[in-house]
Amino acid sequence: MSSVKIFSGKSSKYLAQKIAQSYGKPLGEVTLQEFSDGEMSPFFTESVRGCDVFIIQSTFPPADNFMELLLMIDAAKRASAKYVTVVVPYFGYARQDRKDKPRVAIAAKLMANLLSAAGADRIMTCDLHADQIQGFFDIPVDHLDGTAIFIPYIRSLNLENIMFASPDVGGVKRTRSFAKFFNAEMVVCDKYREKANEVASMRLIGDVEGKDVVMVDDLIDTGGTMCKAAALLKEKGANSVRAVATHAVLSGKAYENIENSVLEELVVTDSLPLKKEIEKIKVLTVSDLFAKAIRKIHDHESISSLFIEY
């Protein structure tokens, strides 16, 4: 069987080192040469011929992160790697997954096309913004589920009157999976936006009186929706409100919004690096989950055991 080699782009090295350690292999050596105008030229400083290569890089802004990933995929293929799996803990541009108004790009599909064109044989990611994005790829996609990380933590809190809430209608399916596992009820915060990153109005569908509410989402950006939903839940009689979100994008005034919110805590993963640490944010690692998935893929085993059954 071909040997496994794990590499990382510069923006996700903090996570790739933990994944490699959990897998039991050292992180491979990559050198990133940059020209004076900013043009990148990454190259592998060790042989990858005939190897199963796993390249770890989240595709969050700036776009250089994605460009570096494409160049690394191309370099691996041209160096005769047997199989190139792209590990993208956070798949950026996934929010642009449809034409919601005239004359807009479907960025998620474009990203999928570029990864395939660069030579990726397989994609591994976690909690896509929409499940159907898997269909944008013409190569196998391993879509890992963040519930495997969050559920043990939520269970450890021993919340007596637990209830789950979706901060918007789009997250109902994700929230229902949590509620089903805990045999609990769920509510929905119905929001209306007039423009991106700005909630115009919100209303609650359901009763949260005396409940310990856990809000569930795939990502948190400015924190506006989550913090507004938390305030609404408390206003409607919730005993406590906390939130879990896989990807901590946290842009703009997100840290300020969270710190000043009624949230008990915000639980996120390390799929993205935090810009700063605050008391209300707790980070859980996805390294063990990805390391197990890498091992199973290399051994040609099913990864279904990594998912929590509801």
**Annotated binding residues for ATP:** 37-39, 95-96
Residue in the structure block whose two tokens are 């510069």: 10
Structure tokens at 40: 């990148």
Taken in order 118, 121, 125, 127, the sign of the CA dihedral is positive
Contact 174, 150 (CB under 8 A): no
Task: Look at residues 192, 239, 247 and name the one whose alpha carbon lies nearest to residue 214.
Answer: 239
SS3 track for 272-305: CCCCCCCCCEEEECCHHHHHHHHHHHHCCCCCHH
Strand 40-44 vs strand 141-144: parallel, antiparallel, or unpaired?
A: unpaired
- Residue ranges for the known binding site for D-ribose 5-phosphate are 193, 217, 221-225
What is the rounded distance in angstroms from the CA atom of residue 17 to the CA atom of residue 12?
A: 9
- Residue ranges for the known binding site are 37-39, 95-96, 129, 168, 193, 217, 221-225
What is the rounded distance in angstroms from the CA atom of residue 108 to the CA atom of residue 110?
A: 5
Given 5, 191, 211, 228, which residue is catalytic? 191
228 carries an active-site annotation: no
What is the rounded distance in angstroms from the CA atom of residue 254 to the CA atom of residue 280?
A: 12
Torsion of CA 13, 17, 22, 28, to 10 degrees: 100
Neighbours of 72 (CB within 10 A): 26
Helix (H) or strand (E) holding 55: strand 52-56
- Residue ranges for the known binding site for Mg(2+) are 129, 168
- Per-residue DSSP letter, 133: G
Residues carrying an active site annotation? 191
